[in-house]
Structure 1
Amino acid sequence: MTDRYAKYQRLKFDWPDERILRVTMENPGRLNSADRIMHGELVEVWRDIDSDPNVSAAIIRGAGNAFSAGGDLDLVKEMSEDFETLTRVWKEARDLVYNLVNCSKPLVSAMEGPAVGAGLVAGLLADISIASRTARIIDGHTRLGVAAGDHAAIVWPLLCGLAKSKYYLMLCEPVSGEEAERIGLVSLCTEPEDLHDKALEVARKLAVGSPTALRWTKYALNNWLRMAGPTFDTSLALEFMGFNGPDVREGLASLREKRKPEFNPKCPL
């Protein structure tokens, strides 16, 4: 492993094939939820991958049987109580989206189990998003008591249309991998046992493609996301405004109760 990845704590790295870097989100016992450390690392890693001459394609997945259960509840609580934490995470949330959009290397996501909130940003903004049939994709914001910010406003309407976006984002309904493929929210759906093999197969094809052609095709297509930038910035501001409101305290209490006595994969949020 090159030195540029040695600094990471919550993200683990391996090379499943030549010039393919696989990034694994790992937060043991918490369904790979994005705590303070992981949230910051998910911002920085795309810059490192973009500038790494040894990487032609990357894969993002979660450790074990979960992609990511979203924002860690301890971090959410800290954001609701401390303005400096809130502003730091707001900037990280913005940079996470833009760093993903601007990364020139092709990215494949492999989602299984809960795929929620902050982790879902990488899952859905990947160039090729793959979900197992049994994945549970949930935005999670309105259940917590804040506006659906992060990636949702910038990418959900483009992927699956405004009507479906409103239904799933406002009601916070889970989307199975099978349904996500049907409505166009993800690129592909596989059986759970085939997920990681399929992600590697796709990454191999990308890794041997023309770097110039892929880079500029991705850049051109992502202009749709860049044009939605003002909408995204507004949604993010509205989301983080909500962390000072009473709904977040009620939402946190409800979510903590659902996660007792341990994290429940059937109810990541």
Structure 2
Amino acid sequence: MPVRREHRTRTATRTNCISAINGTAVGAGDHAAIVWPLLCGVAKAKYYLMTADFIGGREAERIGLVSLCAPRARVLGRVLEVAAQLARGSQTAISGTKKSLSNWMRMAGPIFDNSLVLEMLGFLGPDAREGIGAMRAKRAPEFPSAKLPGAAQ
């Protein structure tokens, strides 16, 4: 399964990967059930993943979801500075640190598998169809499984 392979590759590679995103970054593919609680804590992970609220760059940095947030004009320059800093550092120490920290991700393998199954099952249901239909029609979704507290069923 390509998603599993990506997860294993991401945690096993010795090469450092620095991402620079100039614009909107959208979820999916980040294996949120594993990564987010490690980055920003369970409470924030639950809040943002369950509400699907928008997270701006500054807020993502504040809660630890991303390492840095830079002004649009400084994104590329800042990522090159970080890359140069890493390149000048002890590669033995940096790769050892990366390997140690990646162990957290590898230990979460069963969580990843469970999360992936639940995500795929969710894509097959009526809520997914309604979400896609609402997005295409540019309207608010009315999910079949939605329940408002106190509302008649």
TM superposition score normalised by structure 2: 0.83
Q: Could you tell me how far apart the structure 2 residues matched to 1:257 and 1:103 are? A: 42
> 1:199, CA displacement in angstroms?
0.6
> 1:251, CA displacement in angstroms?
1.1
> 1:118, CA displacement in angstroms?
3.8
**Runs ≥4 in structure 1, deviation > 4 angstroms?**
none
Q: Aligned ranges for residues 1-269 of structure 1 at < 5 Å?
A: 91-118=1-28, 121=30, 151-258=31-138
Percent identity reads 55
Q: Could you tell me how far apart the structure 1 residues matched to 2:4 and 2:135 are? A: 25
Q: Deviations over 1:204-252 (max 9, x none)?
A: 1212323322212100011111111111110111101122211111111
Q: Could you tell me how far apart the structure 1 residues matched to 2:28 and 2:92 are? A: 30
Richer in helix (by share) = 2
Residue equivalent to 2:150 = none
Q: Deviations over 1:28-78 (max 9, x none)?
A: xxxxxxxxxxxxxxxxxxxxxxxxxxxxxxxxxxxxxxxxxxxxxxxxxxx
Q: Taking CA–CA contacts closer than 8 Å with sequence separation of 6 or more, which of the two structures ends up with the larger relative contact order?
A: 2
Query: Which residue identity does 1:116 align to in structure 2?
Result: V
Q: Deviations over 1:144-172 (max 9, x none)?
A: xxxxxxx1011100111111111100010
Query: Which residue identity does 2:94 align to in structure 1?
Result: L
- Matched length: 139
Residue equivalent to 2:151 = none
Question: What CA RMSD, in Å, does the superposition of the two structures yield over aligned residues?
Answer: 1.7
Q: Deviations over 1:66-109 (max 9, x none)?
A: xxxxxxxxxxxxxxxxxxxxxxxxx2222222211211111111
Q: Could you tell me how far apart the structure 2 residues matched to 1:207 and 1:172 are? A: 37
The DSSP-based 3-state class of the residue aligned with 2:25 is strand
Q: Give structure 1 stretches of 5+ with no counterpart.
A: 1-90, 122-150, 260-269
Query: Which residue identity does 2:54 align to in structure 1?
Result: P
Q: Give structure 2 stretches of 5+ with no counterpart.
A: 140-153
Residue equivalent to 1:7 = none
Residue equivalent to 1:135 = none
